[in-house]
Each structure stands twice: as C-alpha cells, then as structure tokens.
Amino acid sequence: MRVLIYFGIGILFGIVMYKSEAASWFRIYEMFTFGSFHMYGIIGTALIVGILGVQLLKVKKVKTMQGNSINFKPKEKRVPRYLFGGIIFGLGWALAGACPGPIYVLLGAGYFPILVVVLGALLGTYFYGYFRDKLPH
Amino acid sequence: MDWILAPWPWYVSGPLIAFVMFLLLLVGKNFGMSANFRTLCTLCGANKKARFFDFDWKSQRWNLVVALGAIVGGYIGAHFLSNDNAVILNPDTTEELHTYGFESAGNAYTPNELFDMKAFNTPKTLFILLVSGLLIGFGTRYAGGCTSGHTISGLSNLQIASLIATIGFFIGGLIMIYFIFPLLF
C-alpha cells in the first residue's frame, strides 16, 4: 500500500517535470542565459506555495499519515560544503541540462543516452564517498 | 484536453512541484532525488570500499520507488500527454543555440546532438554526458542535496544552508554556460 503511494507520487512528479519542460535541456540553458522567465516562474511559484505551506503545516502541527510529527530536516550551519558542492553540482546541471529528478524523467521519456549521465552520477557519488574525509565541509 | 497536451505553464507547474513536496512530507518523507545515487552505490557494493555507503539503505527504498515512478511519469508525459514535444524557446536563445551547433533547438524536447541514440557512437558526446554526471553525483552529495532537496525543500523551510547551496548551483551553472560552453561547442 505504502509502496503504491510512493510510486504514485513519483509518477505525478515525473509528469509535472516533463510537462513543465523543466526536464528539457533547452529550458535549463535558457534559464542560465536569462532568456525566459519560465524556469524562474516554476521555481518561484513552487517556493511561494512551499514556504506558505510549510509554515501552515508547522503552525497547525499537522501529523504525517502515520500519526508522527512531520520531519523537517534542519540543515547544518556550514558554508564550504554547500558552496563548493553547490558550484560543482551547478556545473553538471548546466552541462547535462538536467538535475537528478529530470534524469529519471528523461530515461522514461526514452532519451537513453541519459544513462551515461546516470553512470557518471553514480561514479561521482562514489568518489565523493571515497574522498569525503579529505574534503572541507 | 488541449491544455493538458500543451506544455504546462509555470504557474501550474510550480505549485504542483510544491504539492509533490507536501505529499512526501505528509507520508513522513523528505523530497530529495539525488539521495538515490547513494543508495544505488550501496546496492552496487560501494559500502565495502567507503564508510559513507555503509548505511541503512533499506530506509531509502521508498525513494527508489519514487524515482521509479518518475521514470514512469516521464514515459506517460512524453507518450500520452503530449501532442508535440518541441520546446518553444526565446527566439534569441534558439538562434544562439544554432550557432553553437544545436540545430535541434526549437524543434525538439532535448538536443538530438546530445540525447539521440547516435550519442552512443560519438566519443565527444559520451565524454560530455559522463563528465556532467560526475559533477552532478559528486556535487549533490558534497552539498547534501540537489534542486529538489535544497532549492525546493530547503528554501521552503527557510534554511540558510539551502540558500548557500542554491547560490552555488547558479554560480556553477553560469560558469558552465558563459565560460566552458564556448570551449566545448
């Protein structure tokens, strides 16, 4: 039952990513060259609704389906890992024209060379895990 | 039905992404797609090589199911919910991309030059795709999240760390487009 819920949420997410064209390499290029408001509109409205919704969930102390408190994960108060990691990810995001969510979406849409990006991402994740203790966080 | 088959406008798509985040929070989970790469590494045996991968991967199975759903969602979106997959861009952007050699700009969903099956026989394209993946995999784990985990979830929860990460995403993206693209294409 739970599995079906997660699967359903994933399907909805995949459809939204595809139909919003957020999974299009062209849209990412256009965003980084400030050619269109489209991507900023998507991120901006997601954030407005997201911020208001999260505040509402907190104020109303809404419980999860299982009856627990919602797990809002606070992030660590550090700079280097977020800045350096962020820049490295940004380089890849612009080159692949896809962040991790759209990578799965493009695979489903039938753009199979994205599998090479997946292979790279797994290797990159592995390298991070391997060198983690030597990196400034 | 036409409005479903046409590209969805930003003011519909953005709130729907927030809705996906709320659904995950309400089932006790956090929106974050790049975490799956770590789980997949562990499934490939990386836990024998680095402590980072020695974690309770079963607690992340739900996220693999979400990713599987996203794959199916991509299939449905492309094959059943679209008349025409071409992404209409700003004409200036289209022209710019044509000069870079992306002839498919304006006529396709993603550039044929990168995502056509011919990519598998083109060393330069394979190299570009592999390197972009390396940067994505390394960067997301280093930063502890990607666009979904930081820019959407983290910023919605007003996390400074996510703001720093998002600024980093844009610094990296702008460096790639303005300084590295002219060398690559």
Domain ranges in chain A are: 2-36+74-134
CB contact under 8 A, A95 and B53: no
The answer to whether residue A74 neighbours chain B at the CB level (below 8 Å) is yes
Residues 59 through 88 of chain B touching chain A, CB cutoff 8 Å:
62-63, 65-79, 81-82, 87
pLDDT band at B2 (very low <50, low <70, confident <90, very high): confident
Instruction: Work out the percent of chain A whose per-residue pLDDT is above 70.
Output: 100
Q: Do B162 and B155 meet the contact criterion of CB atoms below 8 Å apart?
A: yes
The complex's ipTM? 0.97
β-partners of residue A63 are: A69
Q: CA-to-CA distance for A7 and A43, rounded, in angstroms?
A: 23
Cβ-in-10-Å burial (0-12, 13-18, 19+) of A70 comes to middle
Shortest alpha-carbon distance between residue B56 and chain A (Å):
15
- Look at residue A73 in the predicted model and tell me its pLDDT: 83
Q: Do B146 and A43 meet the contact criterion of CB atoms below 8 Å apart?
A: no
Question: For residue A133, how many other CB atoms are within 10 A of its CB?
Answer: 10
CB contact under 8 A, B46 and A126: yes
Q: CA-to-CA distance for A98 and A27, rounded, in angstroms?
A: 10
pLDDT in tens, B129-160: 999 999 999 999 999 999 999 999 999 999 99
Lowest mean pLDDT among A73-82, B5-14, B176-185: A73-82
pLDDT, average across residues A64-89: 93
CB contact under 8 A, A91 and B135: yes
B51-61 b/e (C-beta count within 10 Å ≥ 16 → b): ebbeeebeebe
Measured over the CA atoms of residue B147, residue B151, residue B152 and residue B153, the dihedral's sign is positive
Q: Do B36 and B114 meet the contact criterion of CB atoms below 8 Å apart?
A: no
pLDDT in tens, B97-115: 999 999 999 999 999 999 9
- Look at residue A3 in the predicted model and tell me its pLDDT: 96
pLDDT, average across residues A87-93: 98
Domain ranges in chain B are: 1-83
Cβ-in-10-Å burial (0-12, 13-18, 19+) of A83 comes to buried
The answer to whether residue B101 neighbours chain A at the CB level (below 8 Å) is no
Candidate from A13, A28, A36 with C-beta closest to B73? A13
Give how far the C-alpha of residue A16 lies from the chain's centroid of Cα atoms, to the nearest Å: 13
Q: Do B140 and A85 meet the contact criterion of CB atoms below 8 Å apart?
A: yes
Chain A residues with CB under 8 Å of B157 CB are: 54, 72-74
Residues 6+ apart with CB under 8 A from B118: B112, B125
pTM exceeds 0.80 for this model: yes
CA-wise closest residue to B177 among A58, A29, A125, A42: A29
The answer to whether residue A13 neighbours chain B at the CB level (below 8 Å) is yes
Q: Do B57 and B43 meet the contact criterion of CB atoms below 8 Å apart?
A: yes
A41-53 b/e (C-beta count within 10 Å ≥ 16 → b): bbbebbbebbeeb
Residues 144 through 183 of chain B touching chain A, CB cutoff 8 Å:
144, 146-148, 150-162, 164-177, 180
The answer to whether residue A69 neighbours chain B at the CB level (below 8 Å) is no
- Look at residue A74 in the predicted model and tell me its pLDDT: 85
Cβ-in-10-Å burial (0-12, 13-18, 19+) of A1 comes to exposed
Candidate from B30, B137, B156 with C-beta closest to A121? B137
pLDDT in tens, A4-14: 999 999 999 99
pLDDT band at B1 (very low <50, low <70, confident <90, very high): confident
Chain A residues with CB under 8 Å of B100 CB are: none
Q: Do B21 and B15 meet the contact criterion of CB atoms below 8 Å apart?
A: no
CA-wise closest residue to A102 among A37, A31, A2, A35: A31
CB contact under 8 A, A125 and B137: yes
Question: For residue A110, how many other CB atoms are within 10 A of its CB?
Answer: 14
